[in-house]
Amino acid sequence: MTPEEFSTLPKASIFRRLAALVYDFLLMLAIVFICGVLAVIIQYLIYSPIPEGQQMPPLPWVPVVTALWFANAWYFVYCWQKRGQTLAMKAWRMRLQQPNGSLTTTKQRWLRALIAPLSLASVIGLLWKLWDKNGDCLHDKLTGTRVVLLPKGVN
């Protein structure tokens, strides 16, 4: 399909977006698990051997959470780069794009990957779609992107 054809596609419904969000959330849990295991291994390597009677110091949570946020953001940015789809978006036949039908820019992808979790966590970001005259979520508006429903057979 050409960018002109992509620009005429309908926007994805809230149901589809939520279903893809749940699917992507499960994938993000896997990323968080892997990063958590790596953090514990690194901590063990730094502080081992632990003298008898002492405990291993706790993980510094702010850097760990920040690293997890960026690891998850990287997953989305990487997936959106070539086809505008994460694995969940592919399963639900959705695509992230600019309103003109072309793929998003690197700046848009990173901005969206960092803003969308905050937008969704506040619930306002998703509910914004119900009141917006164009049917955009808040993070769609802030990044100049849209999520469209692809026709059957186009992935």
User: Two tokens at 81?
Assistant: 């780069």
- Rounded Cα–Cα distance for residues 154 and 143 (Å): 25
> What is the average pLDDT across 12-31?
90
Each residue's pLDDT tens digit, 110-126? 999 989 888 888 888 87
Each domain of the chain, given as residue ranges in start order, spans 3-149
- pTM comes to 0.79
Binning pLDDT at 50, 70 and 90, where does residue 106 land? very high
- Rounded Cα–Cα distance for residues 3 and 23 (Å): 27
Q: Is the pLDDT of residue 32 over 90?
A: no
- Rounded Cα–Cα distance for residues 116 and 110 (Å): 10
